[in-house]
Each structure stands twice: as C-alpha cells, then as structure tokens.
C-alpha cells in the first residue's frame, strides 16, 4: 500500500513511518525542512514541500492509497490570540490540502486529541460523548469537521483522538523525565485528575489497524484501556526511576505560567478506547507500569 504522511518528522510521525516500512508499506513523507531528512529511516521516499501550501507534493498525494495527517503546532506554548490562530490553521489547512489532493475512494487518517472532551472529572468518556467547553475542545471539533469533508469524495475517514503519548525521545516524558530523575517530580495539584495515556507503539499499531480494516471508519479513542490518576502515574514513574516524587506542583503556578494551557494540563479526562476494543484491537501495553518500563 502506498501512503503519504504529513508530519512525518514529529514524535508520532517518525515512529509511524518506521512501523509502516517494517510492515511493507511504500511510505512518502512530506517535509518542510531538508535538515530533518536524517530523522526518517532508510526506505522513506522524501518530498520537500509545505503541507500548509498547495504544491507539487499534492501531485504525489493524488497517487496514494492513503493519506495520514499528523500535522499541528504544539499546544505547549502560551496561547496568545495570534498563537491560537496558528494552532487552528496548522491543523485545518493541512487537512484541507491533503483532502484536495487525495483521489476518490481512498483513505484518510487524521489526528485529533482527547482534548475534545475537556475537563470532565470522574465521567467515563467514549467516542460518542459530547465535546467539552474551552478552546482546545473547539479546536478539535473544527479539526474533525474538516477531516469529515473528505467523505464527499467517498474517502474512508478515520480519526484518532490521541491521548498522552508515552515514548522515547519525545512527548511528555521528554519534558518530565529530567525533573523526576533529579528527584524534583510530583503530582499536579492534588493528583486526583484522570490521566489517559497510550504507548507510542500502540499509536502506530492502531493507525495501521484502522487503515487495514476496510470496514472501519469514524472516530476512535487512542488511549490505553486503563487510565490512571495523576498521583498514580507519579507514584509508578518514581518507583521505576527509584527517585522520590513528593513535591506537588501548585495549580495556581501552572495557570500563572501557562494561562489557559495551565487549566488544560490539570484537567481530568477519563477516556476509554471502546471502539478499538470492540473491533478487536489488542493493546501491546495496556498497563502503565509495563509501558513505562519498556521506555525508561
């Protein structure tokens, strides 16, 4: 199968390309910065182009069996009015340009996030649960609505609402591991908020699972079947690292430092991967301790 990947040099994208090549896919990666070619494994077909602009890369996309869009500016910056626009545009424009390029009756996998649900306390959230309130919720709604426009071309649309991804050399662990290794880690606030995580290997396996199962379409939660509370995550990570982690991070400090983003960081989102499980996907890492041990 011939697949084009937007966002191939990112944390998820670079792992996905490796997984697809290992499983005999023909992989084309659209990248803006030629210096990042070295990130991608041997065998990747490189296309220099900007997915936020129309261009020659779309001609290549028109010959593909599937398009995968993982592009989006990081949310881990302070959200000024200008940056909010950048967060939306990076996701929506790249999605529109990819849909325009793909042939009728092909496949589109588009990333989204569990931020769609917002801060929901103890509520168990499944794919049919309504969106929450706030900027990130609205961002995900716009992003998903744009992706579903592909159905007008009889394209099979697959959307992954991705949780907190755990893996080597990227994602949240890249930020917090140095802090925990120094013995300065701790729960966020009271630590009672739910933490819906997924191992990077299960992200790439789930994307491939959805692409290969021709009868599947729509929205899927990309999270482990076993979410944990933030204080439990902290306890398990400190145990594996053999470092203390007793210093709680005050909520007011996060909100002061990050503004609206601070509220998202301490939100409680208990998400379950109901549709993946119902359709027979088997998680390689369903328990947090095993997942972290495979990474650290």
Q: What's the distance, CA 234 to chain centroid?
A: 21
Mean confidence (pLDDT) of the chain: 95
Q: What is the pLDDT of residues 108-144, one digit of tens each?
A: 999 999 999 999 999 999 999 999 999 999 999 999 9
Q: Using CA atoms, how far apart are residues 118 and 135, in angstroms rounded to an integer? A: 9
Taking residues 227-243, what's their average pLDDT? 96
In terms of Cβ atoms closer than 10 Å to its own Cβ (0-12, 13-18, 19+), residue 203 is buried
- Asked if pLDDT for residue 89 goes beyond 80, the answer is yes
- Asked if pLDDT for residue 249 goes beyond 90, the answer is no
The pLDDT value given to residue 66:
99
Phi, psi of 125 (to 5 degrees): -110, 130
Q: Using CA atoms, how far apart are residues 289 and 71, in angstroms rounded to an integer? A: 29
CATH number of 2-167+196-223: 3.40.50.720
Q: pLDDT above 70 covers what percent of the chain?
A: 100
- Asked if pLDDT for residue 260 goes beyond 80, the answer is no
Residue 164 neighbours by CB distance under 10 Å: 18
In the chain, what are the domain boundaries?
Answer: 2-167+196-223
């Amino acid at each position: 199968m011939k697949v084009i990947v937007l966002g191939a040099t990112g944390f998820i994208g670079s792992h996905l390309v490796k997984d697809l090549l290992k499983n005999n896919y023909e992989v084309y990666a659209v990248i803006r910065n030629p210096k990042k070619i070295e990130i991608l494994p041997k065998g990747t077909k490189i296309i220099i182009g900007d997915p936020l602009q129309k261009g020659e890369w779309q001609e290549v996309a028109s010959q593909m069996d599937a398009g995968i869009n993982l592009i989006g500016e990081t949310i881990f910056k302070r959200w000024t009015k200008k940056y909010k626009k950048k967060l939306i545009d990076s996701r929506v424009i790249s999605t529109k340009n990819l849909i325009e390029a793909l042939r009728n009756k092909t496949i589109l996998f588009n990333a989204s996030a569990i931020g769609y649900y917002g801060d929901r306390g103890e509520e168990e959230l499944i794919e049919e649960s309504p969106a929450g309130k706030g900027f990130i919720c609205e961002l995900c709604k716009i992003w998903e609505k744009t992706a579903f426009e592909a159905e007008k071309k009889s394209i099979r649309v697959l959307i992954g609402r991705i949780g907190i991804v755990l893996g080597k050399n990227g994602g949240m662990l890249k930020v917090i591991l140095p802090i925990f290794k120094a013995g300065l880690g701790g729960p966020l606030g009271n630590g009672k908020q739910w933490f819906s995580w997924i191992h990077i290997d299960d992200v790439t396996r789930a994307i491939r699972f959805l692409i290969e199962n021709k009868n599947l379409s729509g929205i899927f939660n990309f999270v482990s079947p076993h979410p944990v509370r933030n204080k439990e995550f902290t306890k398990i990570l400190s145990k594996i690292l053999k470092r203390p982690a007793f210093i709680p991070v005050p909520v007011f400090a996060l909100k002061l430092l990050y503004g609206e983003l601070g509220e998202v960081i301490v939100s409680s989102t208990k998400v379950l991967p109901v549709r993946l499980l119902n359709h027979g996907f088997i998680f390689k890492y369903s328990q947090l301790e095993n997942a972290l041990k495979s990474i650290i």
